[in-house]
Structure 1
Amino acid sequence: MQRIRQRGRLIAGIDTNSFNWGYRNPQTGALTGFDIDLVHAIAKALLGDPNAVDFLAVPTAKRVEALQDGTVDIVVRTMTINCERAKQVSFSAPYFTAGQQVVAPVADQGITGFDSSLKGKRVCAASGSTAWQNFVAENTLGATPVPVANQLDCLVQMQLGNVDATVTDNALGAGQVAQDPSVHLVGGPLDTEYYGVAVKLGSDDLVRRVNAVLEQYAATQWQAEYGKWLKQSMGGRDAVPPAPRYRD
């Protein structure tokens, strides 16, 4: 906290390629999305100015490294909290609930989910993502895993016909579908996951401050942000922020 305040700027690792989460508005060039607005809220709470933030695009597989080497102060990038990552970075309380799901071309009606219908198919996922680590790279379905740097690269590969399906967070998959109606989500969610704000391991003071921001954000702003960025692409479903759980 002292280092950030002395600098007068928050350095945030974000995504610039995930529609509705973190991306550049094609008309204005401004970074926009659910995660971007959350970063602005954190900057305002820490420094009194929502624009006192420097954004740095960080690939999926480089999120942990960017925190460990001090390139960024925080990562707000649809980053799933899990036990393995919690050994490498510290997480805030969760701010969104998601689950892994398959995205496939509408024209390929043979793909029904993460099941035997993927046998012989080329399946894409972002390197370092939960989808890659827990499903695609470890699958026993007879599919060929295809890693990419960022989840949106999978959409491009599907459009080019280089892969047959993608496994990604359903919240991100919904953004792919919103961008390209020739693909759709198939099957159900494969798990339940929670996104958290990640900081360098041991930065307990920053974690506590971010948790305080998230409590206020959940009570006053979360619903409006969900309605603005995500509700339509998530099929119009209502949602609520996940309840925080803190360690002693």
Structure 2
Amino acid sequence: MVARGDEGRPHGAGHLYRRLRASLRGWGGVGAMAALCALALAFVLLLPLTQTHDVGADEGTGGGHVATGSQARADNCENPEKQTLSPSGADGPTIDAIKSRTGAKRKLVVGVDQNSYRWGYRNPNNEDAELEGFDIDLVHKIAEDILGDPDAVQFKAIPTSQRIPAIQEGRVDMVVRTMTITCDRIGQVAFSAPYFKTGQQVLAPKSSTITGYDKSLGEKRICTATGSTAYTKLDGDKKAGKLPASADISLTVPNQLDCLVRLQLGEADAVVTDGALAASQAAQDPTVELKGAAFTTEYYGVAMKQDATDLVRRVNQILVDYRVNGWQMSYDNWLSATLGKDSAPSKPPAPQYLRKS
């Protein structure tokens, strides 16, 4: 198990590595080596990224105030991916506060992942091991538009379960971290228009009898990330009788990559996560594969505070241009190797802006 503190720092890495090495005895050859390499990569990627502090406490974004927003938006939700504000290039109080930061603090503070291969990860093959990936490209584009410098970014590694608290408590200006737009979440944070289309899928060892999101998951241990849409789907389907009652969904972890490690350790039989992330995990370990087709349709959005209306509108304006100039290039660079050269299934729909205020 990869245990972490509040900022996602791995502890006991050597112990976990020894456990995995012991569990792989008998696998032999490429499979064992691939799994060990994947775990080694995971440990590199999970190195601490930065110290966490309240953005608002010293940078003028409202301190630790939790923006409650309008819970009615969640209660009356329909088509959550459309519940966003129309684009605008105008500045407002939130953007003014970001621009007023001085010196080394004049940066956009963004919550990201640092261990999702090809989305937001530290590439150990690069000299500086800088963060890179599809989400990271978008962050640089937003920073360039708002602050005139694509590198004017302070990245903060945020575990899956901490994405919403980090926004509400003012620790970050926004989260760009494969975050699905859902009805529950739009009652807590504001989202941009979608920038990516995906869906939940099952990841399991190639040798597994699991065939997809079906009765083959009976009596299987399924791993999901805490606070993820995957767990919400599993929990709801199990209560509704749409998932075998014997399926064990109790195993949850702080970050999605931890599920791949649990799979390699033999502590889980399957992983359920966004297909885009599952494909990246399969690319890290040739002994696992996607099982069955996607069984949901979901959209990623940039998440911000509920009352940061000027920032939401600005990001939506940036996305209007990015969908035409930048999105495809980023897809080709980072995701075509894992999701295929045809980007059409992943392209977001034409945006609709149904939120009025």
The residue number in structure 1 matching 2:176 is: 76
Structure 2 CA distance for aligned equivalents of residues 25 and 121 of structure 1: 33
TM-score normalised per structure 2:
0.68
Deviation at 1:164, TM superposition (A): 0.3
Q: Counterpart of 2:184 in 1: which secondary structure?
A: helix
Q: Counterpart of 2:301 in 1: which secondary structure?
A: strand
Q: Does 1:131 align with 2:230?
A: yes
Deviation at 1:138, TM superposition (A): 5.0
Structure 2 CA distance for aligned equivalents of residues 184 and 242 of structure 1: 28
Contact persistence 1:123–1:136 (CA under 8 A): no
Structure 2 CA distance for aligned equivalents of residues 242 and 136 of structure 1: 28
Q: Counterpart of 1:80 in 2: which secondary structure?
A: coil
The residue number in structure 1 matching 2:263 is: 158
The residue number in structure 2 matching 1:20 is: 118
Equivalent residue letter for 2:116: S
Q: Does 1:178 align with 2:283?
A: yes
Larger strand fraction of residues: 1
Q: Counterpart of 1:124 in 2: which secondary structure?
A: strand
Equivalent residue letter for 2:147: L
Alignment of 1:35-46 (within 5 A): 35-46=135-146
The residue number in structure 1 matching 2:64 is: none
Larger helix fraction of residues: 2
Equivalent residue letter for 1:12: V
Match of 2:133 among 33, 52, 55: 33
Contact persistence 2:299–2:348 (CA under 8 A): no
Alignment of 1:98-117 (within 5 A): 98-108=198-208, 110-117=209-216
Alignment of 1:198-209 (within 5 A): 198-209=303-314
Question: What per-residue deviation string (whole Å, max 9, x for no partner) do you get for residues 129-184 of structure 1?
Answer: 10011225752412111101111111111111110000000000000011111111
Q: Does 1:86 align with 2:86?
A: no
**In the superposition, relative to structure 1, how do residues 12 and 21 fare at CA in structure 2: closer, same or farther (>3 Å)?**
same
The residue number in structure 2 matching 1:6 is: 100
Q: Does 1:95 align with 2:195?
A: yes
**In the superposition, relative to structure 1, how do residues 13 and 199 fare at CA in structure 2: closer, same or farther (>3 Å)?**
same
List structure 1 segments (4+ residues) > 4 angstroms apart after TM superposition: none
Structure 1 CA distance for aligned equivalents of residues 235 and 210 of structure 2: 15
Contact persistence 1:136–1:167 (CA under 8 A): no
Q: Counterpart of 1:114 in 2: which secondary structure?
A: coil
Deviation at 1:98, TM superposition (A): 0.3
Question: What per-residue deviation string (whole Å, max 9, x for no partner) do you get for residues 58-86 of structure 1?
Answer: 00010000000000000000000011000
The residue number in structure 2 matching 1:190 is: 295
Structure 2 CA distance for aligned equivalents of residues 107 and 51 of structure 1: 44
Equivalent residue letter for 2:173: D
Unaligned stretches of 5+ in structure 1? none
Q: Counterpart of 1:93 in 2: which secondary structure?
A: coil
Q: Does 1:223 align with 2:328?
A: yes
The percent identity for this pair of structures is 54
Q: Does 1:51 align with 2:151?
A: yes
Match of 2:247 among 143, 146, 154: 143
Bigger Cα Rg: 2
Structure 2 CA distance for aligned equivalents of residues 189 and 170 of structure 1: 7
Count of aligned pairs: 247
Equivalent residue letter for 2:352: R
Structure 2 CA distance for aligned equivalents of residues 86 and 66 of structure 1: 15
Structure 2 CA distance for aligned equivalents of residues 111 and 143 of structure 1: 12
Structure 1 CA distance for aligned equivalents of residues 111 and 324 of structure 2: 25
TM-score normalised per structure 1:
0.97
Structure 1 CA distance for aligned equivalents of residues 340 and 289 of structure 2: 12
Q: Counterpart of 1:245 in 2: which secondary structure?
A: coil
Q: Counterpart of 2:98 in 1: which secondary structure?
A: helix
Structure 2 CA distance for aligned equivalents of residues 236 and 121 of structure 1: 33
Q: Counterpart of 2:195 in 1: which secondary structure?
A: strand
